[in-house]
Structure 1
């Protein structure tokens, strides 16, 4: 399932993009808030205590490196990882830099999934709105259907590839703590940005609060 579910989440995001307008759909924004809350909670409840327990030496440095890396990646992706798309691309031009940024993000998030089943659920939920936003952008950029298919397929394969590399290469397993710490930094940035940006003008929204609490509770009890 660690290989199949991330692929299906990208497919689900693409299907959603065909029927909804992710930028304005209230249901989509609630899904985004739920994914941010769940991802943040799994990171705090599971990943964070584990990396400090297994290797406390300089682990905080790697967490901050992951956070800074995500900031750099978002200069290229323009925020698609947290449900926003402000990228301007020439019509029909294949966005190689965008693909590189998103693929590196997806590859890294795949590394800790093999040993953390709950994280798999968080990544899958997170990928659905990301893939929907991305699909809308690709279709609006007037790329060919083949180019869109290749882009989404390559992007979808990156997270399973990260899980496969972590499972099959011993030297990566030896450095699992610092790698997971980098991923924690990435998740902290992405999830908190989702929670802070998903409400217009940061106004109080009871529906958003409810799905955030639900995401936290599910991450804690499941």
Structure 2
């Protein structure tokens, strides 16, 4: 399941982009908010207590390093991880730096998935809107169908590859708590950015608040 579900999430995001054209729809933005709330809640309820259980104060350093690392990655990806796409669709050049940023992010996501089914669901839910936004960009770009398909395939494979590496290599497992701490920092940055970005005209959004509460409750009681 840890290998299949992230792939299915990317496929679902692609299908949503192809058939529903969701980039500006309210329901799509609510899905993004729900995914951010669920991912943040699972991180706080499960990952954070686990990494601090048998480690000292230095684990916080790795959490902050993960947060800073995600900021650097988003400088390259221009915020696609939390629902934004600002790359030039008219370029015919393969966006290798975008793939690098999303690939490293997705690889890191895969490391702790074997330890928590709740986190697996959270990452999968988060991948759906990201894959949809990425697909819309690729549809509108001038890369060509083959390059666009190759980009999506590589993006889809990175999270399962991360899970595979964690399971297969002992040295990764030996430093699992520190790697998970870095991933926590990544998740904290992404999820809080999704949740606390200002709404249009800074208006109160009751629907967004409701889906955020739903995401938190679902993560707590599952």
TM range, smaller chain:
over 0.9
Task: Name 1:15's counterpart in structure 2.
Answer: 15
Distance 1:198 1:157 in 2: 32
- Equivalent pair of 1:14/1:135 in contact (CA under 8 Å): yes
- Equivalent pair of 1:3/1:160 in contact (CA under 8 Å): yes
- Equivalent pair of 2:89/2:140 in contact (CA under 8 Å): no
- Equivalent pair of 1:29/1:198 in contact (CA under 8 Å): no
Question: Considering only aligned residues, what root-mean-square deviation do their CA atoms show, in Å?
Answer: 1.1
Distance 1:202 1:109 in 2: 31
Task: Name 2:74's counterpart in structure 1.
Answer: 74
Q: TM-score, normalised by structure 1?
A: 0.97
Distance 1:204 1:77 in 2: 29
Deviation, 1:69, is 0.4
Deviation, 1:57, is 3.8
SS in 2 for 1:149: helix
Deviation, 1:198, is 6.6
* 1:48 corresponds to 2:48: yes
Task: Name 2:83's counterpart in structure 1.
Answer: 83
Any residues of structure 2 matched to 1:78-157 within 5 Å, and which? Answer: 78-88=78-88, 90-157=90-157
Distance 1:37 1:68 in 2: 20
Task: Name 2:195's counterpart in structure 1.
Answer: 195
SS in 2 for 1:106: helix
Distance 2:103 2:34 in 1: 23
- Quickly say closer, same or farther: Cα 1:196–1:20, change in 2 above 3 A: farther
Aligned residues: 222
Distance 1:218 1:198 in 2: 24
Task: Name 1:181's counterpart in structure 2.
Answer: 181
- Equivalent pair of 2:89/2:142 in contact (CA under 8 Å): no
Task: Report Cα offsets for 1:28-76 as digits up to 9, x if no partner.
Answer: 0000000000000000000001100121240000000000000000011
Unaligned residue ranges in structure 2 (runs of 5+): none
Distance 1:94 1:104 in 2: 17
